[in-house]
Structure 1
Amino acid sequence: MYKVFVNDRPLFLTNQIVKETDFKFFLLESIDIDQLIINYFQNKIKKAYLYHPDEKEILNTLKSKIKVNHAAGGLVYNKKGEVLFIFRSGKWDLPKGGMDKGEEMEETAIREVEEETGVNNLRITNKLQKTYHVFKRNGKYKLKITQWYEMQTDYDGELIGQLEEGIEKVAWLNPEEIDDALKNSYENIKLLFEEEKKLQE
């Protein structure tokens, strides 16, 4: 099962038929995806399941209905075990961005972290999960698929937020501060930290 966030609310892709309770259930093959997304943004739908019988084809079927944007980003730790966060559009987020032509995913992740925060000397230590969310650009809805990487750095220089990307603040946050920041973050970022906790247990 995949979890896609639309307006920070879950849209599940499933190959199981589930009975509607507090959610809507649709057939992925026949759904008008734009109309579904509009309903999410207009708060007419808070949670929905899209059904397709073949689990291997679920994501491809969705991709055939909406333009896809590939991105990569970093969950970056420093020597003190703090995590690198950025603050933009009123929320805490992690550095990430779209792939340039000819780039590998790992290269994108490292470049984006450097550009958005000023942090360098980055080493990828683990490949994490992908997150999925829908956003609107130039009047069109797109599906952003972000591949995340755990990274380490011994950088202790100045943090410089990329202004043209609307980044107001960059900060190293300790575990207590992270819990607080996640209260004002995005659902897919919270998901990432839930998975990270499981990995560390």
Structure 2
Amino acid sequence: MYKVFVNDIPIILSTEEDMGEKYTSLSLKEANFTTIIKNINKGKLLYVNLYHKKEEKLIKHLLKKLPVVTAAGGLVYNEKGEMLFIHRNGRWDLPKGKVEKKESLEDGAIREVEEETGVKDLKISDFLLKTYHIFQRGGKYKLKVTHWYEMRTNYTGPLVPEESEGIKKAKWKNEKKAIKALEKSYANIKLLFPAEMLSGYAKDRVS
């Protein structure tokens, strides 16, 4: 199963034709993404399941539906175990951006983190996952596929938000502050964090 986000509403890609009464289920192969996206944006669709009987075909068919923008970014930790966030368009986010032609995903991820935050001496420690979200540019819908990497750094210098990209702040946050920032973030960004980390903090706030 995969999630493709339109704003914070996920379109589910699955092998299950029936996901329950609240879901509108459509064949992925035959689905009209423009119509689906417009209905989501109008509030007419909140639960969408696009199915194909073969799991290996889910992403293959998705990539045929919309022009694809390949991006890469990082969940960056410093030596204190703090995580690097940026603030843009009124929400907390993680540094990422479009990968350039002939640039590797890893190099693109490191370059984008450096450009958007000023952090240097970055080393990739692990590949995390890919996220999928749909955005509109020039009147056309596009699919952004972002490749996320865990990174480490011993950098202790100043953080320099890339203002030309609309980034207002770049901040190191400990676990507690990171989870609070995620309350004002994006649904696809939350996928990068362990579920137990999110649920554990929620329990602390209730108790």
TM-score (norm 2): 0.92
Task: Give the match for residue 126 of structure 2.
Answer: 126
Task: Give the match for residue 185 of structure 1.
Answer: 185
SS at match of 1:16: coil
Task: Give the match for residue 141 of structure 1.
Answer: 141
Rounded Cα–Cα distance in structure 1 between residues aligned with 2:5 and 2:166: 22
Structure 1 position 123, deviation (Å): 0.5
1:14 is matched by which residue type in structure 2? S
TM-score (norm 1): 0.95
Contact kept? 1:8, 1:187, Cα under 8 Å: yes
Superposed CA offset, 1:59-118 (max 9, x none): 111111111111000000001100000000000000000010100000000000000000
Gaps in structure 1 of 5+ consecutive residues = none
My pick for the range that moved more, 47-56 or 113-122, is 47-56
Gaps in structure 2 of 5+ consecutive residues = 199-207
Rounded Cα–Cα distance in structure 1 between residues aligned with 2:195 and 2:66: 27
Superposed CA offset, 1:112-152 (max 9, x none): 00000000000000111111111111111111111100000
1:145 is matched by which residue type in structure 2? V
Structure 2 residue 99 is matched with structure 1 residue 99: yes
Rounded Cα–Cα distance in structure 2 between residues aligned with 1:181 and 1:197: 13
Rounded Cα–Cα distance in structure 1 between residues aligned with 2:84 and 2:196: 14
Q: 1:166 to 1:118 in 2, by over 3 A?
A: same
SS at match of 2:193: helix
Task: Give the match for residue 82 of structure 1.
Answer: 82
RMSD of aligned Cα (Å): 1.4
Contact kept? 2:19, 2:49, Cα under 8 Å: no
Task: Give the match for residue 160 of structure 1.
Answer: 160
Structure 1 position 20, deviation (Å): 3.7
Structure 2 residue 151 is matched with structure 1 residue 151: yes
SS at match of 1:193: coil
Contact kept? 1:7, 1:40, Cα under 8 Å: no
Structure 2 residue 27 is matched with structure 1 residue 21: no
Question: How many equivalent residue pairs?
Answer: 198
Moved over 6 A (4+): none
Task: Give the match for residue 5 of structure 1.
Answer: 5
Structure 1 position 19, deviation (Å): 4.5
Rounded Cα–Cα distance in structure 1 between residues aligned with 2:19 and 2:95: 38
Structure 1 position 197, deviation (Å): 5.0
